[in-house]
Structure 1
Amino acid sequence: MKLIYKLSFGLHLFVGIGAMAGGLAAITSPLEPLGMPLEPLKNSPFTNYLIPGIILFTVIGLGNVISALTLCYKAKYQGYISGTLGGALVIWIIVQCMMLRAVAFLHVLFFIIGVIQGLLAITILFHKSLFPTNIVMKLYKEMKKEV
């Protein structure tokens, strides 16, 4: 389990710091963050990168950094926190690809990282026997008895 916590910690910290940097760039320079032109936003509801930057900084960035910190303390509900943020990252990437109408290597990479965060979260939930994994384990044990 130690490896699961370390891997999850590293992924959350990596995503969080990167998202905070990207979000901060979009907040401070919403018309051209890190040299990104406004043209890709033509099919989105946004006219600049300010709102996406705020969401990226707070939800994806701060959320993942906080999740990494809670992993240090092995908080009881860490599996839920980690899984929620992994799911948020996956949704963020899907929505971003749909709005930009493009898929780049970084989209694929961060999608995979979000999925891995979710799988690690499920592992933590199984280890702590928390809902819904406790129900799955109970059903599994009952099915095993019948066989």
Structure 2
Amino acid sequence: MKKVYNLLFILHVFVGVGAMAGGSMAILNPIEPGGVPTDALKNSPFTNFLIPGIILFMVIGLGNILSAVTMHFKSKYQGYISSTFSWALVIWIIVQCIMLRSIVHLHVIFFIIGLVQAFLSTLILFKQQLFPTNSILKVITNLESKFPENSVLKKIVKLENKFYK
């Protein structure tokens, strides 16, 4: 599990610092941040990049930094916080692609990073046995006791024991 925590920490710092930099560019130069003209926003509700820059800086940037900090200090709620900001990144990328009506390589990269963060966050929630994962584990245990010969349940329990016990 230490590798999961370390990788997730690195991803949160990477995304957080990058989003704060990108958000800062959009806040400081909302007309053409990083050379992107406001024409790119013609299919969005925005006339410039100020509001998207603030959202990028605050939610994606600071949110991922907060996630990294809670991981560093081993907060009980780090799985929830990490998961929240991981899915925020995924949603941000989807909305951005819809509004810009284009997909570039950075969208794909950060979409995948968000999904990896979400997966790793879910592993942490299972490890901490917090809601809703504690309920899922309880259902699996009950099913396994009712159907002890079920090969799929055996594999799930074996996987659970390998990672979480």
Q: Which residue of 2 aligns with 1:111?
A: 111
The C-alpha deviation readout for 1:71-120, integer Å capped at 9, x for no partner, is 01111011100000010000000000000000001001100111111101
SS at the partner of 1:43?
coil
The C-alpha deviation readout for 1:43-79, integer Å capped at 9, x for no partner, is 0000000000000000000110111011011110111
Q: Which residue of 2 aligns with 1:56?
A: 56
What letter matches 1:85 in structure 2? F
Q: How does 1:95-134 map to 2 (within 5 A)?
A: 95-134=95-134
Aligned length: 147
Q: TM-score under structure 2 normalisation? A: 0.88
Q: Could you say what the CA RMSD is over the residues aligned between the two structures, in angstroms?
A: 0.5
Superposition misfits of 4+ residues, deviation over 3 angstroms: none
Identify unmatched segments of 5+ residues in structure 2: 148-165
Q: TM-score under structure 1 normalisation? A: 0.99
Q: Which residue of 2 aligns with 1:7?
A: 7
Q: Which residue of 2 aligns with 1:93?
A: 93
The C-alpha deviation readout for 1:121-140, integer Å capped at 9, x for no partner, is 11000000000000010010
2: CA distance, partners of 1:54 / 1:40: 17
Give the percent of matched residue pairs that are identical in Structure 1 and Structure 2.
Answer: 61
Q: Which structure would you say has the larger RCO, counting Cα contacts within 8 Å and 6 or more residues apart?
A: 1
2: CA distance, partners of 1:143 / 1:66: 38
SS at the partner of 1:74?
coil
1:84 aligns with 2:78: no
Identify unmatched segments of 5+ residues in structure 1: none
What letter matches 2:116 in structure 1? I
